[in-house]
Chain A
Amino acid sequence: MAAAAVLLLLLLAACPSPGRAGTGRERRDELREELLLSPLPTGDVAATFQFRTRWDADLQRGAVSHYRLFPKALGRLVAALGVRELHLALTQGFWRTRFWGQPPLQAPAGAELWVWFQPTVTDVDKAWKELSNILSGIFCASLNFIDSTNTVIPTASFKPLGLANGTDHHLLRYAVLPREVVCTENLTPWKKLLPCGSKAGLAVLLKAERLFHSSYHSQAVHIRPVCRDASCMAVSWELRQTLTVVFDVFSSGQGKKDWSLFKMFSRTLTDACPLASQSKVYVDISPKNKEKELLEVTPPPTSVHEAVVQGDKKTYAVYDLLSPSLFNTSRSLNVQLKWKRPQDSSEMPIPVLHAQRYVGGYGLQTGEICTLIYNTHPYRAFPVILLETVPWYLRLYVHTLTIITKGKENKPSYIHYQPAQDRRRPHLLEMLIQLPANSVTKITIQFERALLKWTEYPPDPNHGFYVGSSVLSALVPSVIAMKDVDVEQSPLFTSLFPSSDGSSYFVRLYTEPLLVNLPTPDFSMPYNVICLTCTVVAVCYGSFYNLLTRTFHVEEPSRGGLAKRLANVIRKLRGVPLL
């Protein structure tokens, strides 16, 4: 009897109770998943998935071996290499800011990796190389091509997005691989990092055939330390996996501007991920030009949420997949967006900050990189940091750098230029430029193309060589003041960048990557030269040798063999001269 009671007590003590509040010894990790559907002014639709795993443990202290929602591959990586922040993005396509508006989170075409290391790391370059190799294995991307020829150390851009003690920029590394292809083999391991995989929750919509048939596809992984609660006395680690895809109205939408989940993804939602504490779908139904709602969503949303996002007041229809009422009427959720009244295509809002970059010039010797930055705010000026990384084989002439705004020269408040070293380091140009209100700033710099050694050309040199996108970081003044939001209560897309004050919001834009042709040699020439030289040598030298060393002597005619004698007999009979 007593033994049974003891056993029962032991059993109760051994059972973990899941609903207990954090006692300081319990490790809580939670998953929130979210999908944001925003119709774009051109009729396309952008879908942004965010999966956020927050883990109340200190990965850096080691002694963590029981991984639940946080993927072990990334957790071990962070702990072993002393990583403080990691941001990896793989993108196919380009976000057209001029037509689509400010992106929630943009990434440059190709692969982009930037990492802040802990101050305890002694050899940052070695850790960086190991990190890129390990990530190339995890994500099936050729990130092992990241080396000193495409890595830079920015001094003013890319400040840490997570908790930071100090910002010694020697612990930061940034690299871009613009030639990197993104396809299903990168999506597969990305999906495998999610706690529910692609079997439940919002991730069932992620089917490669639809995702890659789009104008823009970007998948990213962000790891950073965040505040555990409002008092911010302890550190939690946050892993955000984001995927942004823009479906084109003509190739996916068959020309019609009405969208639905089934039309976009050829799937519908059936349930939330059982491991998620929050699973929501947000649809942007903000009225444009302060008119009544133009966009209608069916089925009716669970609630409506208003927030100030990127300086503007926006309204969202919210579908909470965890609320039991959502799947009452039908087993699957297919959110449909219909336009109540045909849109006026002339009233496309122009974003406050957008940029453009192109190569000017002609020929295969020189050229010019031109960047145009537009500030369309009617009365506010703001600063912007421009970061350009140019490969070493385009030799920049910094004395030709000109920055012109409204016809006058604009001197930047801060310039950091690190010249390239052939085959070792790329050019790095960082400038802090003040953009006056309602202006266009043109930045030009001339370059000369280098001739590479014939073994350094890639197998397809006539395709051209890529120059990675330049990065613009700015604090854009907001139309409406933003209040400090509690990260846990607000949607995930509002808490990407930590906000300092409500009067402006931080935005990071990327320009187009450039494709430059380098003078390419004729690779068949070595073979041609060998053939020609051997022929010339054989003919000339051979003839001379023969002439000089050949001797002539008279030869006795031979009597001839049997065949010749028989032939002579027949010829005598015919009356023909003998052989």
Chain B
Amino acid sequence: MELQDQAEQFFRSGHTNNWAVLVCTSRFWFNYRHVANTLSVYRSVKRLGIPDSHIVLMLADDMACNPRNPKPATVFSHKNMELNVYGDDVEVDYRSYEVTVENFLRVLTGRIPPSTPRSKRLLSDDRSNILIYMTGHGGNGFLKFQDSEEITNVELADAFEQMWQKRRYNELLFIIDTCQGASMYERFYSPNIMALASSQVGEDSLSHQPDLGIGVHLMDRYTFYVLEFLEEIHPASQTNMNDLFQVCPKSLCVSTPGHRTDLFQRDPQNVLITDFFGSVRKVEITTETIALDRDPAAFESKFPEDELATEPLKYAEQLPVAQIIHQKPKQKDWHPPGGFILGLWALIIMVFFKTYGIKHMKHVF
């Protein structure tokens, strides 16, 4: 019975791998806080175990190496420059102009051109738990991408339905930190989605604190308190989603965070934070030894012999002036005259002979 309990606990959640798609949709220096929001979630997610290969990070503008940043290669989340969320080991998959609605939807649905590298793909399967975090400027029913286009809540709901139909997720946690964020999850209709937003329809999400050295607001309130909450979590903690719903009450956030769990099958009480923010590694420990029978020398000697050149190879001349000057332009290939030209010439010749007659040929020539 105890073993059964243990086994049940081991298989409590139905997922085997974790993915995260973190999107910042705002451009320009005064939207520094949106990049700091996304990077702080990235940092927490990496700390709790999700590797870079399973994170798709999309940042619409570069704040760290922006010429206006007084401390290059840093993005701070607390004033007085306490916490550098950019760090030394960051890999951004979609940068700058690549963060568009089309690319975001392609990443979610998997309909990506074949030459896209692996780090830019969401290679999830039906046992993946995916965390999707979006931040930027939004309104009632839409989220603005880079000040030039927007994604509506209907499009987003349809994209999630496509993911469900293609079995691209097991469970999905959607967090959005924008003004009127709750409108973005109103239209979801696919199962196994839990959604959190920083403000209700009609409310604005506010930023937390400016830093006088950097000159802009550093973080948004909701994500600031979520970050504080996540800093307490470690890979083995048992904190559940209900605690996440309590983060940032109206007294701290000024706006009212909302959440939606009706599409989710499990009770939020039983859903661990690390189900989405951490990474599951189901490891089986074995005590038997496995012999590796290849020895390196035999392995190395399998290489084919190098083909030696018959005469010494040489380097090319970097500036062969004579060769360049005498480089003739490529001759255009000769094409036989086309039908029109032939017809025109035939007409001219016929007219000529009709006019002057063949017997006059010897006089003409």
What residues make up the interface of A, taking CB atoms closer than 8 Å to B?
13-16, 24-27, 56-58, 61, 63-64, 66, 92, 129-130, 133-134, 136-138, 140-142, 144-145, 155-156, 159-165, 167, 179, 181-185, 188-189, 207-209, 211-213, 227, 231-235, 383, 385, 413-414, 416, 432, 458-460, 473-475, 497-498, 500, 506, 523
Residue B83 lies at the interface, judged by CB distance under 8 Å to chain A: no
List the B side residues contacting A161 at CB < 8 Å: 315-316, 318
Residue B357 lies at the interface, judged by CB distance under 8 Å to chain A: no
Q: How near does chain A come to B189, taking the closest CB pair, in angstroms?
A: 30
List the A side residues contacting B148 at CB < 8 Å: 459, 523
Contact in complex: B115, A500 (CB < 8 Å) = no
Residue of B nearest to A116 (CB): B316
What residues make up the interface of B, taking CB atoms closer than 8 Å to A?
27-28, 62, 64-65, 71-74, 86-93, 95-98, 115-120, 146-148, 295-301, 303-309, 312-321, 324-325, 327, 329
Instruction: Point out the residue from A141, A144, A181, A234 that lies within 8 Å of B309, measured CB to CB.
Output: A234
Contact in complex: B73, A163 (CB < 8 Å) = no
Residue of A nearest to B313 (CB): A163
Instruction: Point out the residue from B95, B308, B319 that lies within 8 Å of A474, measured CB to CB.
Output: B319
Contact in complex: A234, B308 (CB < 8 Å) = yes
Q: How near does chain B come to A231, taking the closest CB pair, in angstroms?
A: 6
Contact in complex: A231, B321 (CB < 8 Å) = no
Instruction: Point out the residue from B71, B89, B300, B316 that lies within 8 Å of A164, measured CB to CB.
Output: B316
Q: How near does chain B come to A11, taking the closest CB pair, in angstroms?
A: 10
Question: Is chain A's interface secondary structure helix, strand, loop, or mixed overall?
Answer: loop
Contact in complex: A181, B65 (CB < 8 Å) = yes
List the B side residues contacting A165 at CB < 8 Å: 313
Contact in complex: A500, B303 (CB < 8 Å) = no
Q: How far is the CA of A459 from the CA of B97 in the complex (A)?
A: 8
Residue of B nearest to A169 (CB): B327
Question: Is chain B's interface secondary structure helix, strand, loop, or mixed overall?
Answer: loop
Q: Point out which of B97, B297, B305, B316 has the most chain A C-beta atoms below 10 A from its C-beta.
A: B316
What's the A-B contact tally at a CB cutoff of 8 Å? 176
List the B side residues contacting A209 at CB < 8 Å: 71-74, 88
List the A side residues contacting B93 at CB < 8 Å: 140
Contact in complex: B73, A212 (CB < 8 Å) = yes
CB within 8 Å for A432 and B318 given contacts A14-B295, A183-B65: no
Nearest 5 pairs between A and B by C-beta?
A137-B117, A183-B65, A498-B315, A164-B316, A459-B146
Residue of B nearest to A15 (CB): B297
List the B side residues contacting A189 at CB < 8 Å: 91
List the B side residues contacting A212 at CB < 8 Å: 64-65, 72-73
Contact in complex: A500, B318 (CB < 8 Å) = yes
Q: How far is the CA of A406 from the CA of B313 in the complex (A)?
A: 43
List the A side residues contacting B318 at CB < 8 Å: 159, 161, 473, 475, 497-498, 500, 506
List the A side residues contacting B320 at CB < 8 Å: 159
- Known A14-B295, A142-B98, A231-B312; 16 more pairs at CB < 8 Å: A24-B306, A92-B65, A134-B115, A161-B315, A167-B316, A183-B73, A185-B90, A188-B89, A212-B65, A213-B72, A234-B306, A235-B313, A416-B329, A432-B324, A498-B315, A506-B318
Q: How far is the CA of A84 from the CA of B335 in the complex (A)?
A: 35
Q: How near does chain B come to A43, taking the closest CB pair, in angstroms?
A: 21
Q: How far is the CA of A183 from the CA of B310 in the complex (A)?
A: 47
Residue of A nearest to B324 (CB): A156
Residue of A nearest to B299 (CB): A66
Residue of B nearest to A163 (CB): B313
- 19 A-B residue pairings within 8 Å (CB atoms): A16-B297, A25-B300, A61-B304, A161-B318, A162-B315, A163-B314, A179-B96, A181-B62, A184-B86, A185-B90, A185-B95, A189-B91, A209-B71, A233-B308, A233-B313, A414-B327, A458-B97, A473-B318, A523-B148
Residue of A nearest to B117 (CB): A137
List the B side residues contacting A498 at CB < 8 Å: 315-316, 318
Contact in complex: A137, B118 (CB < 8 Å) = yes
Residue of A nearest to B319 (CB): A475
Q: How far is the CA of A414 from the CA of B309 in the complex (A)?
A: 35
Residue of A nearest to B113 (CB): A133
List the A side residues contacting B306 at CB < 8 Å: 24, 56-58, 234-235
Residue of A nearest to B296 (CB): A16
List the A side residues contacting B120 at CB < 8 Å: 136-137
Q: How near does chain A come to B250, taking the closest CB pair, in angstroms?
A: 34
Q: How far is the CA of A235 from the CA of B314 in the complex (A)?
A: 10
List the A side residues contacting B87 at CB < 8 Å: 184
Q: How far is the CA of A155 from the CA of B330 in the complex (A)?
A: 12
Q: How near does chain A come to B54, taking the closest CB pair, in angstroms?
A: 15
Q: How far is the CA of A155 from the CA of B320 in the complex (A)?
A: 12
Contact in complex: B90, A188 (CB < 8 Å) = yes
List the B side residues contacting A475 at CB < 8 Å: 318-319
Contact in complex: B28, A460 (CB < 8 Å) = yes
List the B side residues contacting A500 at CB < 8 Å: 317-318
List the B side residues contacting A207 at CB < 8 Å: 88
Contact in complex: A142, B95 (CB < 8 Å) = yes
Q: How far is the CA of A363 from the CA of B314 in the complex (A)?
A: 52
Contact in complex: B92, A159 (CB < 8 Å) = no
Q: Point out which of B72, B87, B329 has the most chain A C-beta atoms below 10 A from its C-beta.
A: B72
Q: How far is the CA of A458 from the CA of B318 in the complex (A)?
A: 38
Q: How near does chain B come to A338, taking the closest CB pair, in angstroms?
A: 27
Q: How far is the CA of A459 from the CA of B148 in the complex (A)?
A: 6
Residue of B nearest to A166 (CB): B316
Contact in complex: A185, B91 (CB < 8 Å) = yes
Contact in complex: B297, A413 (CB < 8 Å) = no
Contact in complex: B314, A232 (CB < 8 Å) = yes
List the A side residues contacting B88 at CB < 8 Å: 184, 188, 207-209
Q: How near does chain B come to A501, taking the closest CB pair, in angstroms?
A: 10
Contact in complex: A506, B316 (CB < 8 Å) = no
Q: Point out which of B97, B148, B306 has the most chain A C-beta atoms below 10 A from its C-beta.
A: B306
Residue of A nearest to B86 (CB): A184
List the B side residues contacting A523 at CB < 8 Å: 148
Q: How far is the CA of A130 from the CA of B119 in the complex (A)?
A: 15
Residue of B nearest to A474 (CB): B319
Residue of A nearest to B88 (CB): A208
Instruction: Point out the residue from A56, A64, A156 that lies within 8 Å of B327, measured CB to CB.
Output: A156
Q: How far is the CA of A165 from the CA of B312 in the complex (A)?
A: 11
Instruction: Point out the residue from B27, B297, B312, B324 that lies within 8 Å of A13, measured CB to CB.
Output: B297
Contact in complex: B297, A14 (CB < 8 Å) = yes
List the B side residues contacting A183 at CB < 8 Å: 62, 64-65, 73
Q: How near does chain B come to A430, taking the closest CB pair, in angstroms?
A: 9
CB within 8 Å for A232 and B312 given contacts A140-B95, A414-B327, A459-B27: yes
